[in-house]
Homo-oligomer: A and B are copies of this chain.
Amino acid sequence: MHAIAVRRGEDEPVLVEKPRPDPAPGEALVRTLRVGIDGTDHDVIAGSHGGFPEDDDHLVLGHEAVGVVADPNGTDLSEGDVVVPTVRRRPNGENAYFGRGEPDYAPDGQYVERGIVGAHGFMAEYFTSPAEYLVEIPDSLADRGFLVEPASITEKAFDLAFASRSAFDWQPETAAVLGNGSLGLLTLAMLDANDRFDRLYCLGRRDRPDPTIDVIEDLGGTYVDSRETPVDEIPEAFEPIDFVYEATGYAPHAFQTIDALAPNGVGALLGVPDDWTFEIDGGALHRELVLHNKALVGSVNSGVSDFEAGVDSLLGLDDDFYDDLVSGVYGLNELDAAFATDDSTIKTAVEFGRR
């Protein structure tokens, strides 16, 4: 079967041939429909994040998949079920985090991630997975099912952030997404559908006309150009922000978020920057966290319940939003377009098959 992989020592995706996998006991065989591409894939291809499976000279890419069960193989699934796989898998040996169904809380070394670190991904015509990691989704979402994984990332971050404010009567009005990539825009749409927030902002560094700015404004959000308004000046230029969602991976944003927040606000951090030493006014930031009951929460990966919540959220979003967000779905002979990173590309997916 065809698969898309990156080879050791190379830094671009290539089409490879692999044998169709056989499901082990407890696993189902899934025929792949579409697999989305995000920043993590580009980091993996560039070699700045993730890692190859031991003893393999390549890594099959892809962690945002949707497919159709081809062989339930004795599991509770049925042939034809539309499913989305979660990403983390047990490494050699069980551990407590997988035991209690929260692999997204497992520390380094206690997991592999399909398509990212230590395990092949889903960019192949078929893949297998333990049935417990396959989340059934409605047939109506099959074309868009590759967005369930990124939506689940945001659901988990929402959960962690909002839980941190559950000790008191939090009454937020404003939210800001830092980053106008596909995850940022999807999150903005999910915030727009969330009744908690009255006014939304989204940060980028693009000139108009720009398709991401159009998406922000179509959602009723305000575009913040970070070249004119640094994150910590958002309160002065616009208004204080109750909930900040950081999806830039730009390390100063994590700390500037403290000043962007309104009293009692929370910032969810999702970016994964490299080392970078810089100066901060640590006294002022520490004091601001304390005197205004502010919080920062980091969030990585997501679990089955987040995938299920992501499905519900996707069902509530408009067709127009999808049409604007998904800038292209490409075949196996169009990898250059699928993996493009120019300003006209927002969210792309590779199509392996149709229902």
Which A positions have Cβ atoms within 8 angstroms of B?
Answer: 96, 100, 102, 104-108, 156, 159-160, 163-169, 171, 251-252, 254-255, 263-264, 269-300
Contacts and interface: CB of A to CB of B under 8 A. Distances in A.
Give the number of copies in the complex.
Answer: 2
Contact of A282 (B106, B169, B255, B281): B255
Given A100-B169, A299-B293, A286 B273 contact: yes
Main secondary structure of the interface of A (DSSP, over half): mixed
A283 B292 contact: no
A282 B279 CA distance: 8
A297 to B, nearest CB: 4
Contact of A102 (B156, B168, B282): B168
B167 A282 contact: no
B251 A286 contact: yes
B271 A290 contact: yes
Contact of A300 (B156, B168, B292): B292
B299 A107 contact: no
B287 A105 contact: no
A169 to B, nearest CB: 5
B252 A295 contact: no
Nearest to A166: B163
A295 B297 CA distance: 4
14 contacts: A102-B168, A163-B163, A163-B166, A164-B295, A251-B287, A254-B286, A255-B286, A269-B290, A273-B283, A275-B284, A277-B283, A291-B298, A293-B300, A294-B297
A160 B169 contact: no
Nearest to A252: B282
A291 B108 CA distance: 8
Given A271-B290, A291-B298, A293-B298, A105 B168 contact: yes
B293 A289 contact: no
A263 B167 contact: no
Given A160-B295, A285-B254, A296-B296, A290 B270 contact: yes
A290 B300 CA distance: 6
A44 to B, nearest CB: 15
B167 A159 contact: yes
